[in-house]
Structure 1
């Protein structure tokens, strides 16, 4: 009888323990739902799109993430070290937009290396942080592009054709400005090395307009500006000839 009691108690304990274990182990459906819920709760960092350096500032521009509405703070990191912290819903940046909606900010490089890799970390009200964003090394805007070289400036009939060799740039595109006699802009064109237009054109100065006629012997220069904000000096002037 005692043995039976012990067995009964033992079985009861095993059954009770087994029941507790079974109740503690989540079902397959619950196990599948848990990672999804956790993923939804995670903050996604903004996308860092541009980084420029112009002494003494590093200027960053980013676009918001899918969890921007849950972001309370934007943390700016240089080589993994925090150098600035923004209130995402009250600190409007240089672009006039709140950081939560994406925007720009100037980072004082007094305590940060302008050659560092910059990243952004989003943070919610509870202090939870996202993974770091993609990293960018700022482009130094103090380094000019090489000047283009004008190869010809020819009048044929009523048209002026200017050709040049391009600058060297790593940007997505480059605009060129063609200037007559160091003063009047004949044309602004993108990603090309030649332009043809009427040698008679109008320029606007304040509220006034003035007609310019390009003649033989006038001087043509070309300057470049790329999409990274880098400029070149103007080229050496070339005299206009008749074709």
Structure 2
């Protein structure tokens, strides 16, 4: 689904590379977690995969299409849910979703019904006509997710999707994301929550200082390192790298 080869990224006036000789294969229909401490390069990687910034060098292919040559074609295949809320606070949830649906060219004759259906699935149908500025963090996260999946993308990029949410919203979000994955959506996800990633992801990549250290299934990683949980593995690998 995604092939990353010898990817480098160095920002203007930076002394070091944000990404350096980064290689990774993400398989179709997996939930792939990208984990790393602050400054590891996670957000830079997600920004490149989403087409928001260009790499300094290297190659990224998504479904056989080269990112730098076929970005417009790739955009229709991907959905993006950023860490910061990508919502207009003075508009209602419905107005926000109508706006993003039109950007994604969801047909007008089905857009409103789709919004109602998706909102009901995550417990937000009663709040669609209320302004975003009145929402809790968890409610904003749910609408933020819907904005990224209205066009039914084949790949969904999630950057810290459960930061600052209540436990109820977190469970709703993760359950729904698993459901989307079971329906065929490939999910690429970053997080600082090791217990969450251990349960949620089918494979993970641990990275540090712009490099991929290891990629494996969470349970296998824990077994191979004689650890009790993923957090122990993460601390050990990022400390040594």
- In the superposition, the TM-score normalised over structure 1's length comes to 0.23
Structure in which a larger fraction of residues adopt helix: 2
Structure in which a larger fraction of residues adopt strand: 1
